[in-house]
Amino acid sequence: MTSIPIRRALISVSDKTGIVELAKSLAAKGVELVSTGGTAKALRDAGLEVRDISDLTGFPEMMDGRVKTLHPNVHGGLLAVRDDAGHMASASDHAIGMIDLVVVNLYPFAQTVAKGASRDEIIENIDIGGPSMVRSAAKNHAFVAIVTDPADYAIVATAETTLDDRRRFAAKAYALTAQYDAAIANWFAFADQGQRFPDTLPLVFRRGEELRYGENPHQSAALYLPTGPAARGIAQAQQLQGKALSYNNYNDADAALELVSEFRDGPPTVVIVKHANPCGVATADTLVDAYKAALVCDSVSAFGGIIALNRPLDADTARAISDIFTEVVVAPDASDDARAIFAAKKNLRLLISGDLPDPARPGLMLKTIAGGALIQSRDNGQLGELKVVTKRQPTDAELADCRFAWTVAKHVKSNAIVYAKDGSTAGIGAGQMNRLESARIAAWKAKDAAEKAGWSEPRTIGSAVASDAFFPFADGLLAAIEAGATAVIQPGGSIRDADVIAAADKAGLAMVFTGMRHFRH
């Protein structure tokens, strides 16, 4: 059965957008309309002749509408295989008429949860009859069309469907019920039962856009978006100009946005990211000064990088950024002048994020591994009280730089070492197999930056240094001392903490422990 005429349509929708127009088109082609409750009223108010579902079933809608479509006269009309003589004989024996089209959208469960409704109201917005009809019609898509997306109304308004249409409708329908059931299961697990890691974790995403390729050209990729409560992040940013984002663009832009969001309530801050690691971060009185300070930390790596700002992009900063090649700029907003300046840079992508994400927000992170997945809570840990473990107390300026360096280190791949001075990174060592090498690389980068800038000494002199995890030996600390650091912030907790503290005391450093580490693999 390829092309099938629609003779009877069952329509039951919560969202009534476009439904009257569809029903009028169907009625004009002689289609019998069957409907329920509020949908039937809306169609009658539009002057359409509608048959009540209770007339079809022989039973009234009851129990506050909980029971109305759960009946053999409905599901028999949906599930009967039209070219099976036994099925059709059963339908004839029980006076079951065929239903050729079902138009359904489900009770607004997720929206009800999102608005903070009571538990009783949430439970009442779990649709039972709707998903049952959707599944029945979708299973019998060889003969029945199931429409769950208003974008498809125009196709069935012709009162005829093709098998290709019905197969596509069925795929959409099962995706919808999967998403709907996942939302319910997750609400019960997390909100109602307070589980951290439920026995079954249904994850449902909808495809946004297909990307040109993945991390490498031989890999395919797509962007998927959450189907639950409204999310805010790089995936929801508005792209104002430039070619489509790549997989790596999204990954790097996300890293930049996550880090700059740590400073969303702070002074003007700029983050420059390359290959998911920050290569320069700075705060200043103005955005353009913050950009210049971040750039000078590692101007080589910044070429072709990703830039994120915690303030709306202004013209001065846009002009400064335009001096070198930049892949993506992410900002909460941009002035008209800044947009005009970037318009001349056709390969530069400008993303408007709106309000920055809350760095302390809860959530889960997923990483696939061979044969499974690892799920963990987000690293939303924030600095609490610091414990001074050395003889010398840090100065206020050193303490501020410690906090700044620690915030940046949280977003650097482990092993992470970050030198910072006066609200700017001086050197960043990322992703090494040991902490000593990260400390040396960060110091070398600081020396290189000083040579390029014509400074008399690297900015590691008099800096604070942050380590994302404890120093297992004193050697990493000794490298930081050699680089000129005068203050250290680290988690502590090593069996050799005493040796590390002794080395700091010997060099006259101030050291604070956070009691929290920030591995990022």
CA–CA distance, 360 with 176 (Å, rounded to integer) = 31
Asked whether 446 and 483 are in contact (CB, 8 A), the reply is yes
Q: What is the dihedral of CA 497, 502, 507, 513, to 10 degrees?
A: 30
Opening angle at CA 131, ends 130 and 133, nearest 5? 65
Helix, strand, coil shares of the chain, percent, nearest 5, are: 40, 20, 40
C-beta atoms surrounding 199 within 10 Å: 6
H-only helix segments in 308-389: 315-321, 336-343
CA dist 224 and 237 (Å) reads: 14
The catalytic residue among 24, 87, 172, 275 is 275
* Rounded CA separation 27/13 (Å): 17
**Catalytic site residue 275?**
yes
Q: What is d(CA 171, CA 174) in angstroms, rounded to the nearest whole number?
A: 5
The catalytic residue among 24, 87, 139, 447 is 139
Query: How far lies 375's CA from each of 158, 190, 367, 378, 389, in Å?
Result: 47, 14, 7, 9, 35
Q: Quick one: tokens of 444? A: 């070398």
C-beta of residue 387 within 8 angstroms of C-beta of residue 272: no
* Coil vs helix vs strand at 448: helix
- CA–CA dist 147, 364 (Å, integer): 33
Scored b (16 or more CB within 10 A) or e, 239-259 reads eeebeebbbbbbbbbbbbbbb
Look up 75 and say whether it is catalytic.
no
Which residues are known to be catalytic?
139, 275
